[in-house]
Structure 1
C-alpha cells in the first residue's frame, strides 16, 4: 500500500470509520449528539459544535490546497462558527465534515508519493507529509476533547446536582 493510501486510511479512521487508535472516531462520537448538546458550554471548554467546526475549517482549508488553490485559512478564524440554532444546522455542519473528510481522503489517495516531500505552499509550513500527519494528530487531539465533553454532558444530564 502506498504512503498516500496509508495516510488516507489513517485519516478516515479518525474521522469516519476507524476504531484502531481511540476505539472511536468523529462520526461515531457525533452521530447521537443533538444541536443542544453540541452547543452546551462546560466551564471554559470549547463546545462540541465549536470543535467540530474547527476541525472542518482546517480540513476544508487543506482541501483547497489539494485542489490547486491557495492556503486561505487563518488560525484566528478557526473557531468562528456561525450560530447553530437548530438540529438542521447542526446536521448540515456534520454533513459538511463527513463530505470534506471523504474528499480529503480521496484526494490524498490520488496524491503522487513524491508530492509528500514537497513544500506545502511555503517553506515555513514544511512538507505535505508534515501537514497531513499534523492534521491526523490534530483530529485525534480534538476527538479526545469531544469524547470527554460528551461524557460530561451526559453525566450532568443524569446527575443534575453533581457540579452545583
Structure 2
C-alpha cells in the first residue's frame, strides 16, 4: 500500500469509520449528539460543536492547499463557530464536516507519494507529510475531548 493510501486510511479511521486506535471515530461519536448537546457549555471546556467546527476548519484549509491554493486559515479564527440554534444548523455543520473529511481523504489518495516530502504552503510549516500526520493527531486529540464531554453531558 502506498504511503498516501496509508495516510488516507488513517485519516478516515479517525474521522469517518475506524475503530483501531480509539475504538471510535468522529462520525460514531457525533451520530447521536443533538444540537442542544452540541452547544452545551461545561465549565471552561469547548463545546462539541466548537470542536467539530475547529477540526473542519483545519480540514477545509488543508484541502485548499491540496487543490493548489494558499494556506489561508488562521489559528485565531479556528473556533469562530457561528451560533447554532437548531438541529438543522447542527446537521448542516456535520454534513459539511463529513463531506470535507471525505474530500480530504480522496485528494490525499490522488497524490503521488513523492508529494509527501515537498514543502507544504511555506517552509515554516514543513512537509505535506508532517501536516497530514499533524491533522490526524490533532483530530484524535479533539476526538478524545468530544468523547469525554459526551460522558460529562450524560451526568448532568
TM-score over 0.5 (shorter chain): yes
Larger Cα-atom Rg: 1
- 1:95 and 1:13 map into 2 onto residues whose CA distance is 17
- Mark the runs of 5 or more structure 2 residues left unpaired by the alignment: none
Are 2:118 and 1:118 aligned? yes
In 1, the alpha carbon distance for the partners of 2:127 and 2:155 equals: 42
Structure 1's unaligned 5+ residue stretches are 157-164
The C-alpha deviation readout for 1:98-146, integer Å capped at 9, x for no partner, is 0000000000001110000000011100000000000000000000000
Which residue of the partner structure matches residue 138 of structure 1?
A: 138
Cα distance, 1:155 vs. partner?
Answer: 1.5
* Runs of at least 4 residues off by over 6 Å: none
State the TM-score, normalizing by the size of structure 1: 0.95
Q: Could you state the TM-score of these two structures normalised by the residue count of structure 2? A: 0.99
Q: Secondary structure at the match of 1:19?
A: coil
**CA distance in structure 2 between the partners assigned to 1:65 and 1:122 by the alignment:** 11
Equivalent position of 2:16 in the other structure: 16
How many equivalent residue pairs? 156
Q: Does 1:88 align with 2:88?
A: yes
